[in-house]
Structure 1
C-alpha cells in the first residue's frame, strides 16, 4: 500500500498548488485565494519544509474550511503544496519573486474595496457576513511569514542592532458603501460623526471590539477611562482617519510640539490658518504683477474677490486674536516675538495648542491638554473652550476641567464605549444609577431562574408533571445568558510609613537668594519651612521658579546666599515631572527595580509593583510599551521602595487617570510624613493640601483662603487684562 506522502507527490506532479487549493476549497473567497496565492508565489522558493507552509497559511486555510477539515487534513494539504512548489522551483517552471515583506492586505485602500462587486473586504471587517475568514488570521499569517524571513536573515549573518520595536496600533470598521459613495461624491455636508462597529487594537492586544461612537457637531466630549485602555490610541486612529471620518470634516490633533526654527511665535500661530495665509500670499503676488504692468483685467477681478474674502473672515483682526490666545496660554508680549527655536519643549506644546485654537478645525482632538499648563493657563483654557463652536474630543484626567468644559462624557471600559450626557459629576451620578439598576436586574433574573429550577428539581421524576417540567426546561434554555455585573477594580496606592519621630526643624530655607544669571534673580530673601505634618502645594505660572524651589529644598541646588537646613535623618523621595522620561524603557518593570535596588528576590519586586497596579503580565512587559499612566505608577514604585519619610512631588498627576489620582490623594493623606508638591490639578490640591504657596515675582507667599482664593485672584486678573 502506498504511503500518503507518495500519493501526495504523485498528485503534485499532475497538479499545481493552485489546482490543489481550488479542489480542496471550492468555496474559497477570491480575496483569500489571491492572498494565499500571493504568499506562495512570493515565498515559494524560500520554504524549507511543509511545516513552514503550514505556519504561513495553515491558520487561514482552517478558517476557510470551517468544520469541514481538521488540522491534520490541512497539514496534509500544506505538504502537497510544498511538494508542488519544490518540483516547480526545481525545474524552473515558475519564476519566483521575493519581496522584502509579506503582502499587507490591510493597506489596500478603501476605494479599492468599494469597487469589489458584492464582496465585503476581509481586511475591513473581521466579523464580515460575506467571508468565513478572520482578518486577524491573515495578519498573524503575514507576521509568521515575516518572522521566518527575519530568522533566516539572522542565520545568514545579517545581524540586527535595532532597539526594541514597539507594537503598532491598528483599526478596522464595517464598510458602508452608501456612506462612502456619498462622502466621495462631495454631497455630504453633515458635520456629525458616527462610526459604527469598529475595532481598535495595539499589536495583539484588543482595545475596542464592535464599538460605536457618535460625535454631534458643536458638542464637547470628554473621553475618560483607566490608564492603558486605549484613549490616546483612539484619538490617533481618528486623527489618521484609520477610522472613517467624512472627508469634508477637518481634524486637528494636538499631539506634537511645534518645530523649532526662525519663525516668530505669533507668526507661527497665524500660519495655522492656511486659508488666510493663502489669500494673503495670492494678494501679494497679484499686487506685484499689477504694479509691474504685466496683467489684464482678470487679475483685478480676482484681487477684488480676495479682498472680499479677507474682509468676511476679518483677516485684519487675526493678529490680535492670535495674540490673545498666546497671552491666555502664558506667552508674554516679549515671548510672542521670540523665535520658536528659543522655547523649550513644554512651551512648544503650548504653541501647538495655540495654533489649534486659532485654526478652529471642525474636530479638535486634545490629549491631556492640562499636562503642559499651569493653573492660570488651565483656567483661561476652560473659559475659552466654553464658547467653542465646533466639536471637541478631549482626553483629560482633570475632573474640574471636564466639569467646566464638556457637554458629554464617553467612558471607555471593557473594550467598549458608553456615552453620557452632561459633565463629569453628572457622569458619576448616572453611572452609579445604571450600576444599581443593572444589579437589581441581575438579582431579579437570578431569582427567577432559581424559582424555575426549584420547580424542575421538585417535579423532575413526577410523571404527572412531566410536560410542565419539559416546558420549564425549554423556558430556562431560552432565557438570555446571565452575566454578573462587571465592576472596575478599585485602584489603591500605598506610601509606606517611616515611624521615626524627627524633632523640628525638619526642612527650611532661610533668607535664600538664587539665580541662574545675575540679571534674572529668581528668589530673594526666600523663607520657607516644612515638617513631617506638612501638606504643602506650590502653584504659580510656568517659569516662576516652582521646580527650582523644590531643588533648593532637596539640596540639589546651592543657594547663592542664605542657608538650607535639613534634619540629619531626613530621607527624601522625589518625583520629577520628567521622572517618567528618565526610566529605562528597554527593560521590564521588574528588571528596572532589580537594577536600582539589587539583592532582593523577584517576589519582592512584584509585590512592590503590585502595590501600584503593575501586576501580572504588565510587570514583564518593556517599560516602553506601557501607557503614560502605567509608567508613572512604575516611577512611584521606584520612588517609594527605600521608604522615605518626606516626599517632594513635581506634577505627579500627569498621565494618571482620575481613579489613580483619587488613590494618590488617599495615600498621601494616610502617609505619616511630610509632603511638598507642585501641582495644577485642582482635585488633588483640594484633597491633599493644608497650605497653598504661590510662587511669583521672586517670592513665595502663602494664601490663607486656599485654592478658592487663588482662583478668584486669577479670574479678576483675566477680567482686568481683557482675556475673558
Structure 2
C-alpha cells in the first residue's frame, strides 16, 4: 500500500490512479448518450463525446453544451424535441462539472485494480461498449473526426473570446444611470399671458404635470401651487422623487414664468482663488457689473483716455448703487457667513482651501445673499451644526420671497415652514401650517377617509343583501332592477392607502460587558504640534450609555470619535477598550464610500462572503431595501436608501456598541423615527453625533459639548445647550 500523500500507480503504463478515476467518472456522460440515443451511429457518437471530452472545462452553462452539440443530438432522434435534448444536456453538464471539481482535488487512491467484468455485471450495457469507451479514451486520434472536432473547438474558442471581451467592456464602461424627465399639459391661456409679458405675478402654479425617473413614474397628473412669500416644506418617503422635483423646477422643465428667478442650492462651490466673502458678493450680478463698470470708467478718466461721457455715466452708476444699497452688501454677506459658521479669518480664505462641507455652506450663503424669487433648498441642515441650524431657522423666518425646502428635520420645519407639501402615491397634497399641524391634519383626514370607506362599504352590502334576497321574486323585480342601477352608479370604492411602516432593528444577542467598556484618560491629541485639538481629555462609556456629542464644525467631534474607535492614537494618555467590545461605526461619509456600480445584495456578499442570497436579502429587507431595490445599482438609489444599505452593512456583524456620526443625513422622518426607536430598544451602548433635535431627545441621556480643546458635559441636556446658543446669538447681534 502507498504511504499517505503518495500517488499510487497502476501496473500498466505507470499512470497515476487519479487518471483512471477520471476516466471512470467520464464514462457517466457517455452512458447518458448511449442510454438516451441508442440508435446513434459510431461517427456521431465519437464526434459528440470528443467535443465534450476536449472542452469539458470550458463549458460554463448548459446553454453552451446545447449550442455545441444540441443540433446534432436532435437530428439523431426524431422523438425528442428541443426541451428533451436540453434536459439531457443538463444531465451531462452536471456530470462534467462534477468531474471538473473532482479533478481539482487531490488524486484518489485506488485500493485495487478495476475489474471490468464487475463493472459490466452491474450495468445494462455490453462488455464491448465498456471496452469501446476505454479504447476511445486511449486512442482519441484514430476514432474522432479531426475536422469536426477542430470546428467545434474553434466555435468554443470564439465564444470564449466573445465572453471575455464582453466582461472586459462591462468592467471598463462607466455605469449609465437612468435620467429624470418631466412633462406638462399645455395651457393656452398661460402661454398667451407669458408671451404678452403681462404676467407680473410671483405666485407659481404648475398644473397637471408628470415627473418620471427612467421608466418609473414619480408624479402623475400632479398640481403644485406656491403663493409668493410663503415657505413650503416638501416631505415624503425616501426615493419618491422630492429631489427630482426640485431639479425639474430648477431646470425649468416644468412651466414657471420666466420673470421669476430661481436658485437651487444643489452643488458645492467650485474651489478657486476667490475669497469666501467675495464669492458671496459676486452672486449679486447687478451690483458686481455696476462696481466693475465704475472701476473701468474711473481708470479711463485717471489715465486721460475718456471721451467726456464718463462723468454722466458715473453719476447714473452711483445713483443705482445707492438705490440697491450696495454699500451695505459686504456687511450683509459677512453676517450670513458668520451665521453659517465662517469666522472673520475664514471669510478671507480662498474657496479652494475649504472642504466639501464648507463649500456647501458657502453655496447656501450665496443663495441667501442673492435673494431669488424662488429659493429651492435640498436638505440644508445636513451640512450644518446645531448652532448654524438655529441661526438659519431665525434667518429664514424673515425671508421675503418663496421657499420650497426638502428637509427631514422635524424641528427645522416647525420653525421655518408656513405650509407642508406631502408627496405620496404619485401626487402632491398641500397642508396649511407647520409640520406638527400637518401630522395632526393628515391623521384626521385619514380617519375621515377610513370612516367614509367603511360607511360606503356597509351601504353597498345592505343593497347587495336586498338584491340577493329578492333576485328571483317576480313581485320585487322592479325594485331589484332599481337597486342594481343604484349599485352601478355608486362611486368605485378605493381602500385607504397607507404608507408601509418603517422598522429598523439593531441585533443585540450578545453578553453584558462589565464597565467601563470604553474609556480615555488624560488624553492629549493634535495633528500638528502647534495646534492641539484635545488636552487632558477624560471620558468613559458603558453598555447603558446614550451619549450625544454636539459642537460647532471643526470643534473636533469626528476626531473624538476616531480616538474612541482607536483609529487615531493619543499623543499622550490612555485609551482603554474591553477585550470583547465590538463597535459598529457609521461615518457621515459612509454613504459616499459604498461601492456604487454593484447592487446591495452583491455589496453585502463582497463584505461578508459565504452566506446565502436569502440571508443578504433578509438583512437588507430589515432596513427597507427589498424586492427590486435590492438588485438595483447602489448608484441609482436615493440618498436615504443608500443610508439604509449602509446601516444593513454596519449591523451585519452584530456589534455590541454603536458610534454614529450624523446618521440622519438623507433619512426621511419615518426612518429617523424608526432609528430612534431601534436605538432605544438596543441593549448595547450608543455614542451619537447628530444635529437632529428629535433624535437627540428620543435617544440620548447625556450631552457632551465639544470645543476649546476639551469635552464638557451639559447637565441640563439639549434644552440648556439651545439656551446657551440663543444667548450667544443675542450677544453677537444675530437676534
For the aligned pair, the TM-score class normalised by the smaller chain equals 0.7 to 0.9
Q: Counterpart in 1 of 2:159? A: none
CA distance in 1 between counterparts of 2:298 and 2:565 reads: 62
Q: How does 1:77-226 map to 2 (within 5 A)?
A: 161-226=172-237
Q: Counterpart in 1 of 2:296? A: 285
CA apart distance, 1:498: 3.2
Q: Which runs of 5+ in 1 are unaligned?
A: 1-150
Q: Counterpart in 2 of 1:576? A: 587
CA apart distance, 1:310: 0.7
Q: Counterpart in 1 of 2:372? A: 361
Please state if 1:441 is matched with 2:452: yes
Aligned match for 2:670, one of 624, 644, 659: 659
Please state if 1:425 is matched with 2:415: no
Q: TM-score scaled by structure 2?
A: 0.76
Task: Note the alpha carbon deviations across 1:511-559, whole angstroms, 9 max, x for none.
Answer: 0000001111000000000000000000000010000100100100000
Q: Could you say what secondary structure the match of 2:723 adopts?
A: helix
Q: Could you say what secondary structure the match of 1:388 adopts?
A: coil
The more displaced of 589-598 and 301-310 is 301-310
Aligned match for 2:383, one of 372, 375, 380: 372
Q: Counterpart in 2 of 1:670? A: 681
CA distance in 2 between counterparts of 1:339 and 1:318 reads: 19
Q: Could you say what secondary structure the match of 2:201 adopts?
A: coil
Aligned match for 2:731, one of 707, 720, 724: 720
Q: Counterpart in 2 of 1:117? A: none
CA distance in 2 between counterparts of 1:362 and 1:286 reads: 32
Aligned match for 2:620, one of 590, 596, 609: 609
Q: Counterpart in 2 of 1:552? A: 563
Q: Counterpart in 2 of 1:310? A: 321
Q: Counterpart in 2 of 1:136? A: none
CA distance in 2 between counterparts of 1:327 and 1:226 reads: 33
Q: Which runs of 5+ in 2 are unaligned?
A: 1-161
CA distance in 2 between counterparts of 1:418 and 1:158 reads: 46
Q: Counterpart in 2 of 1:22? A: none
CA apart distance, 1:499: 3.0
CA apart distance, 1:184: 3.1
Aligned match for 1:414, one of 419, 422, 425: 425
Aligned match for 1:241, one of 213, 231, 252: 252
CA apart distance, 1:580: 0.6
Q: How does 1:188-587 map to 2 (within 5 A)?
A: 188-296=199-307, 298-587=309-598
CA apart distance, 1:609: 0.4
- Do the aligned partners of 1:174 and 1:197 also contact (CA within 8 Å) in 2? yes
TM-aligned CA distance change 1:193 to 1:668, over 3 Å: same
CA distance in 2 between counterparts of 1:723 and 1:392 reads: 21
Task: Note the alpha carbon deviations across 1:592-637, whole angstroms, 9 max, x for none.
Answer: 0001111111111111000000010100101110000000000000
CA distance in 1 between counterparts of 2:569 and 2:171 reads: 46
CA distance in 1 between counterparts of 2:633 and 2:503 reads: 23
The more displaced of 183-192 and 492-501 is 183-192
Q: Could you say what secondary structure the match of 1:493 adopts?
A: coil
CA distance in 2 between counterparts of 1:620 and 1:521 reads: 47
Aligned match for 2:648, one of 637, 643, 653: 637
CA apart distance, 1:183: 1.6
CA apart distance, 1:306: 1.4
Q: CA RMSD in A?
A: 1.5
CA distance in 1 between counterparts of 2:526 and 2:195 reads: 60
CA distance in 2 between counterparts of 1:295 and 1:634 reads: 66
Q: Counterpart in 1 of 2:145? A: none
Q: Could you say what secondary structure the match of 1:577 adopts?
A: coil
CA distance in 2 between counterparts of 1:526 and 1:617 reads: 48
Task: Note the alpha carbon deviations across 1:272-297, whole angstroms, 9 max, x for none.
Answer: 11111011111222223333444455
Larger Rg: 2
CA apart distance, 1:181: 2.8
Aligned length: 571
